[in-house]
Structure 1
Amino acid sequence: MKQPAFTPIDPDFPDLFQREIEKGSVKVIYFDTEQYPDLKESNGAVTAIIDKGRSGQFMVFANGDQVRTDRIIAYNGKPGPAYDEYDAYALAPLTCKAGYDDEC
């Protein structure tokens, strides 16, 4: 499945991310950009949040990982910008449609 285009995130998230960065270590769970909807995890010191224009904003880790901020499901155990998408995806089998487009 193709990764969606960058979606602007709630303006509060950069401030929330910055607070966690100041603690020295951030653990994020996010949608993989290569194998969507697979999940990945990165943790450690964050060196910056950079803006790559149309590609989006990225959280850059000291270990070299770059995580697109709109794909973050959780950071340090807190819901991130992509949490609602993850929740809907995870609960899809419980609906009467079970992932199909047909009416119930």
Structure 2
Amino acid sequence: MNLKIESENTSYLPVAWEYREVIDEEMNKRTTGKIFYFCRSEGICEAKGSVAFMKEEKQKGLFITLDTGAKIRVDRIITLFGKPGAAYDEYDSYANACLDCMGGYEKDAL
């Protein structure tokens, strides 16, 4: 499964209030650290900094902007300063995808 292709083909999904609350809390504490998220360029990207503000954009979704100027769509965040984000379950499903595979072999090779 190609993470880059999968991450490019997603439309905005509304996020639960708990993720907004975590972002608000970290913004108020001025927490600085790493944010991992799905992106178009590499599949999974990381950004460093603190959340400057969060803003809803019509027809595009809810975004956070870091003090470094990086802009990240909230529903694509895997982890925010080590805490699970809205896309964590999607990321975790990639890790568990091989549980039903054939150990790296194709069906024809067995």
TM-score (normalizing by structure 1): 0.82
Unaligned runs of 5+ in 1: 99-104
Q: Quote the residue 1:101 is aligned against.
A: none
String of CA shifts for 1:7-47, please: whole Å, max 9, x gaps: 00011211111111122124211001x236x1111121221
Between Structure 1 and Structure 2, whose CA radius of gyration is higher?
Answer: 2
Distance 1:42 1:27, change over 3 A: same
AA of the residue aligned to 2:84: P
Larger proportion of helix: 2
Over the aligned positions, Cα root-mean-square deviation in angstroms equals 1.8
The answer to whether the aligner puts 1:22 opposite 2:28 as a matched pair is yes
Unaligned runs of 5+ in 2: 104-110
> What's the % identity of the aligned pairs?
33
Contact 1:8 1:70 (C-alpha < 8 Å) held by counterparts:
yes
State the secondary structure of the residue aligned to 2:59. helix
Contact 1:26 1:46 (C-alpha < 8 Å) held by counterparts:
no
AA of the residue aligned to 2:11: A
